[in-house]
Amino acid sequence: MIKSILIINNHGKPRLIKFYEHYSEEKQQQIIRELFLLVSKRTERSCNFLEIGNNSNIFDKDTKIIYRHYATLFFIFCVDSSESELSIIDLIQTFVESLDKCFENVCELDLIFHIDKVHYILDEMVMGGLVLETNPTIIFSNYEIQNKLEKAENPLLSGLAGVMQTIKPNK
Protein backbone atom coordinates (compact mmCIF):
# COMPACT_ATOMS: atom_id res chain seq x y z
CA MET A 1 0.00 0.00 0.00
CA ILE A 2 1.10 3.52 -0.71
CA LYS A 3 1.29 5.51 2.49
CA SER A 4 1.88 8.93 1.07
CA ILE A 5 2.68 10.75 -2.12
CA LEU A 6 4.58 13.99 -2.05
CA ILE A 7 6.07 16.40 -4.50
CA ILE A 8 8.82 18.53 -3.03
CA ASN A 9 10.92 20.99 -4.96
CA ASN A 10 14.69 21.30 -4.89
CA HIS A 11 14.52 23.73 -1.99
CA GLY A 12 12.38 21.53 0.20
CA LYS A 13 9.09 23.37 -0.47
CA PRO A 14 6.13 21.02 -0.73
CA ARG A 15 4.16 21.21 -3.98
CA LEU A 16 1.78 18.35 -3.30
CA ILE A 17 1.13 16.39 -0.17
CA LYS A 18 -1.21 13.47 -0.01
CA PHE A 19 -1.28 11.15 2.97
CA TYR A 20 -3.24 7.92 2.87
CA GLU A 21 -2.65 7.38 6.57
CA HIS A 22 -3.59 9.86 9.20
CA TYR A 23 -0.93 12.21 10.50
CA SER A 24 -1.27 15.48 12.34
CA GLU A 25 -0.27 18.63 10.46
CA GLU A 26 2.88 18.89 12.54
CA LYS A 27 3.87 15.34 11.74
CA GLN A 28 3.15 15.91 8.06
CA GLN A 29 5.52 18.85 7.98
CA GLN A 30 8.08 16.83 9.89
CA ILE A 31 7.82 14.06 7.31
CA ILE A 32 8.24 16.55 4.48
CA ARG A 33 11.39 17.94 6.06
CA GLU A 34 12.81 14.52 6.81
CA LEU A 35 12.08 13.21 3.33
CA PHE A 36 13.68 16.21 1.76
CA LEU A 37 16.81 15.73 3.86
CA LEU A 38 16.98 12.10 2.85
CA VAL A 39 16.44 12.44 -0.89
CA SER A 40 18.20 15.72 -1.53
CA LYS A 41 21.58 14.42 -0.44
CA ARG A 42 21.51 11.49 -2.82
CA THR A 43 23.30 11.65 -6.12
CA GLU A 44 21.65 11.16 -9.47
CA ARG A 45 23.37 7.81 -9.83
CA SER A 46 22.08 6.42 -6.56
CA CYS A 47 19.20 4.04 -6.73
CA ASN A 48 15.72 5.45 -6.23
CA PHE A 49 15.00 3.51 -3.08
CA LEU A 50 15.60 4.32 0.54
CA GLU A 51 14.87 2.11 3.45
CA ILE A 52 13.85 3.45 6.79
CA GLY A 53 14.72 0.52 9.00
CA ASN A 54 14.74 0.92 12.74
CA ASN A 55 16.48 4.21 12.98
CA SER A 56 13.64 6.61 12.43
CA ASN A 57 11.12 7.85 14.92
CA ILE A 58 9.14 9.57 12.20
CA PHE A 59 8.42 6.71 9.84
CA ASP A 60 7.12 3.24 10.40
CA LYS A 61 9.64 0.46 10.35
CA ASP A 62 7.92 -0.99 7.33
CA THR A 63 8.41 2.03 5.10
CA LYS A 64 10.22 2.32 1.84
CA ILE A 65 10.82 5.59 0.13
CA ILE A 66 10.76 5.50 -3.63
CA TYR A 67 11.44 8.72 -5.40
CA ARG A 68 12.33 10.21 -8.75
CA HIS A 69 13.85 13.52 -9.48
CA TYR A 70 12.46 15.47 -12.44
CA ALA A 71 14.06 18.85 -13.13
CA THR A 72 13.18 20.94 -10.09
CA LEU A 73 10.91 18.44 -8.38
CA PHE A 74 11.21 15.30 -6.31
CA PHE A 75 8.30 12.90 -6.66
CA ILE A 76 8.33 10.85 -3.51
CA PHE A 77 6.19 7.81 -2.74
CA CYS A 78 6.30 6.25 0.72
CA VAL A 79 5.12 2.67 0.48
CA ASP A 80 5.07 -0.44 2.62
CA SER A 81 6.82 -3.71 1.82
CA SER A 82 3.88 -5.12 -0.15
CA GLU A 83 4.56 -2.82 -3.11
CA SER A 84 7.08 -3.68 -5.77
CA GLU A 85 9.78 -1.02 -5.90
CA LEU A 86 10.16 -1.15 -9.65
CA SER A 87 6.44 -0.89 -10.25
CA ILE A 88 6.27 2.24 -8.14
CA ILE A 89 9.01 3.74 -10.30
CA ASP A 90 6.77 3.08 -13.29
CA LEU A 91 3.82 4.52 -11.45
CA ILE A 92 5.71 7.75 -10.82
CA GLN A 93 6.38 7.87 -14.53
CA THR A 94 2.67 7.37 -15.21
CA PHE A 95 1.83 10.18 -12.81
CA VAL A 96 4.25 12.55 -14.49
CA GLU A 97 2.98 11.62 -17.93
CA SER A 98 -0.58 12.25 -16.79
CA LEU A 99 0.35 15.65 -15.39
CA ASP A 100 2.14 16.40 -18.59
CA LYS A 101 -0.93 15.60 -20.64
CA CYS A 102 -3.22 17.68 -18.45
CA PHE A 103 -0.99 20.73 -18.17
CA GLU A 104 0.85 20.44 -21.49
CA ASN A 105 4.52 20.48 -20.56
CA VAL A 106 4.02 20.54 -16.85
CA CYS A 107 6.35 22.69 -14.80
CA GLU A 108 6.62 23.56 -11.14
CA LEU A 109 4.49 26.69 -11.50
CA ASP A 110 1.58 24.65 -12.85
CA LEU A 111 1.59 22.61 -9.69
CA ILE A 112 1.83 25.68 -7.49
CA PHE A 113 -1.11 27.49 -8.97
CA HIS A 114 -3.32 24.49 -9.66
CA ILE A 115 -2.96 22.44 -6.59
CA ASP A 116 -6.61 21.32 -6.80
CA LYS A 117 -6.13 20.01 -10.32
CA VAL A 118 -3.05 18.05 -9.33
CA HIS A 119 -5.12 16.42 -6.66
CA TYR A 120 -7.89 15.58 -9.12
CA ILE A 121 -5.39 13.90 -11.40
CA LEU A 122 -3.83 11.99 -8.56
CA ASP A 123 -7.23 10.83 -7.37
CA GLU A 124 -7.87 9.30 -10.78
CA MET A 125 -4.67 7.30 -10.46
CA VAL A 126 -4.39 6.31 -6.80
CA MET A 127 -7.22 5.89 -4.34
CA GLY A 128 -6.89 5.08 -0.68
CA GLY A 129 -3.26 4.16 -1.19
CA LEU A 130 -4.01 1.64 -3.92
CA VAL A 131 -3.45 1.88 -7.63
CA LEU A 132 -6.65 2.66 -9.48
CA GLU A 133 -5.65 3.38 -13.04
CA THR A 134 -2.32 3.15 -14.77
CA ASN A 135 -3.11 4.44 -18.21
CA PRO A 136 -2.27 8.16 -18.61
CA THR A 137 -4.66 8.52 -21.51
CA ILE A 138 -7.62 7.29 -19.49
CA ILE A 139 -6.59 9.40 -16.52
CA PHE A 140 -6.43 12.44 -18.73
CA SER A 141 -9.76 11.81 -20.44
CA ASN A 142 -11.59 11.27 -17.14
CA TYR A 143 -10.08 14.44 -15.79
CA GLU A 144 -11.09 16.41 -18.88
CA ILE A 145 -14.68 15.19 -18.86
CA GLN A 146 -15.05 16.30 -15.27
CA ASN A 147 -13.64 19.72 -16.06
CA LYS A 148 -16.17 20.08 -18.86
CA LEU A 149 -18.96 19.00 -16.57
CA GLU A 150 -17.91 21.66 -14.11
CA LYS A 151 -17.81 24.37 -16.73
CA ALA A 152 -21.17 23.35 -18.20
CA GLU A 153 -22.98 23.93 -14.95
CA ASN A 154 -21.23 27.15 -14.03
CA PRO A 155 -23.97 29.49 -15.34
CA LEU A 156 -26.45 27.39 -13.39
CA LEU A 157 -24.52 27.88 -10.22
CA SER A 158 -25.44 31.53 -9.73
CA GLY A 159 -29.11 30.71 -10.24
CA LEU A 160 -28.92 28.05 -7.56
CA ALA A 161 -27.16 30.28 -5.11
CA GLY A 162 -30.37 31.54 -3.52
CA VAL A 163 -31.74 28.04 -3.13
CA MET A 164 -28.56 26.76 -1.58
CA GLN A 165 -28.54 29.38 1.10
CA THR A 166 -31.44 27.59 2.70
CA ILE A 167 -29.67 24.22 2.71
CA LYS A 168 -27.64 23.75 5.81
CA PRO A 169 -26.22 20.50 7.04
CA ASN A 170 -27.54 19.26 10.32
CA LYS A 171 -25.15 19.69 13.10
Partner 1 sequence: MSSKLRDLIKTVRSCKTAAEERSQIAKESALIRTAMKEEDLESRQRNVAKLLYIHMLGYPTQFGQMECLKLIVSPSYADKRIGYLGLMLLLDEKQEVLLLATNCIRGDIMNSNQFIVGVSLCAFGNICSTAMARDISPEIEKVISHSNPYIRKKAALCAIRVLRKVPDLTENYIPKIKALLSERNHAVILTALTLIIEICEMDSTQIIHFKKMVPQLVRILKSLTSSGYLPEHDIGGVTDPFLQVKILRLLRILGQNDPEASDAMNDILAQVSTNTDSTKNVGNAILYECVQTIMTIESENGLKVMAINILGRFLLNRDNNIRYVALNTLSRVVNTDIQAVQRHRNTIVECLKDPDVSIRCRALDLIYSLVTESNIRVLVRELLNFLLIADAQFKSELVAKLCIVTEKYAPNKRWQIDTILRVMSIAGNFIPDEVPSNLIQLISSTPELSSYAVQKLYLALKQDITQQPLTQVGLWCIGEYGDLLVADKSQLPKDEDGLSLNVSEQAVIDIIDLIFRHATTTQATRQYSLTSLAKLSSRFSQSSLQRIKTMIDNYKQNINLELQQRACEYSTLFDFDKKASILDRMPPIEKQEESPHIGNKNIPTQTPPQQHYQQQQQQPQQQSSQFGSILDGLDSPTQSSANSGNNNNNNNKQGGNAMSLLEDIFGSAPTPTSNGNMNNNNNMNNMNNNMNNNYAMGGMGMNNNNNNSMGGMMNNNNNNNNNNNNNNNNNKSQASALLDIMGDLQLTPTPQQPQSQSQQALSPTNQTSVLQPVPQPLTFLVYQKHGLNISYECSKPQPNNLSLTNINMVITNTGSSPITNFSLQAAVPKYLKIQLLAPSSTVIPPNNSGEVTQVSKVLNSQQGQKPILLRLKLDFQINGQPFSDVPDTPLPSLF
List residues binding partner 1 (CB under 8 A): 14-18, 20, 22, 25-26, 28-29, 32, 42-43, 45-51, 53, 55, 82, 84-87, 89-91, 93-94, 112-113, 115-116, 119-120, 123, 127-128, 130-135, 137-138, 142, 145-146, 149-150, 153-154, 156-157, 160-161, 164-165, 167-171
What CA–CA distance (Å, rounded) separates 90 from 72? 19
Looking at the Cβ atoms of 50 and 73, the one nearer to partner 1 is 50
Residue 134 has φ and ψ, to the nearest 5°, of -120, 5
What CA–CA distance (Å, rounded) separates 67 from 161? 44
Asked whether the beta carbons of 136 and 121 are under 8 A apart, the reply is no
Taking each continuous run of H as one helix and of E as one strand, the counts in the chain are 5, 7
Give the nearest distance from C-beta 136 to partner 1 in angstroms: 9
Give the nearest distance from C-beta 105 to partner 1 in angstroms: 20
